[in-house]
Amino acid sequence: MKKLLFIMSVLITGSAAAQTPPARKQLLQQILPATTVEEVRMDEITFAPGQGAPVHHHPCEVYGYIVSGEILYQPAGEAAVLLHAGDAFRETAGREITLFKNAQDDQPATFVAVYLLKKDQPAIIIKK
């Protein structure tokens, strides 16, 4: 009888835990422009202290997430913003990014970028 009560207790506790939904935090919601996505590429990129990207644009939509550190981010025509760990961002296809730089001089910054590409499309185009 004790064994049966123990098994029932485990089953009840286990099923209650299985019904508890996971914690969910929405980071970004964006309506996609009309486009054809044939390939998704996801990169984890780490900038050394003070390092940044040259002026560039992406021929595709890009969605990003700051994993650690702080990034100074400025699309053309907008004010620069400071992105912190846990922040998400969007880079519009074709829009020039004039500043994307690790804001800290003493530690690296890491972010994840998701590129919504067409087949054989480059992910980034550096301004010459």
Residue of 102, 101, 68 whose CA lies nearest to 86? 68
Q: What is the pLDDT of residue 87?
A: 97
Lowest mean pLDDT among 27-41, 47-61, 100-114: 27-41
Kindly state whether residue 11 falls inside one of the protein's structural domains: no
Residues 6+ apart with CB under 8 A from 114: 40, 41, 42, 62, 63, 64
Q: What is the pLDDT of residue 36?
A: 84
Kindly state whether residue 10 falls inside one of the protein's structural domains: no
Distance CA 127, CA 104 (A): 24
CATH number of the domain bearing residue 81: 2.60.120.10
Mean pLDDT, the chain, rounded, equals 89
Helix (H) or strand (E) holding 16: helix 2-19
Q: What is the pLDDT of residue 40?
A: 94
Kindly state whether residue 79 falls inside one of the protein's structural domains: yes
Kindly state whether residue 94 falls inside one of the protein's structural domains: yes
Q: What is the pLDDT of residue 108?
A: 98
> What is the tally of structural domains in the chain?
1
* pTM for the predicted model, two decimal places: 0.79
Tokens of 82: 């400071």
Distance CA 91, CA 59 (A): 10
Residue of 20, 86, 95 whose CA lies nearest to 59? 95
Residue type, 47: F
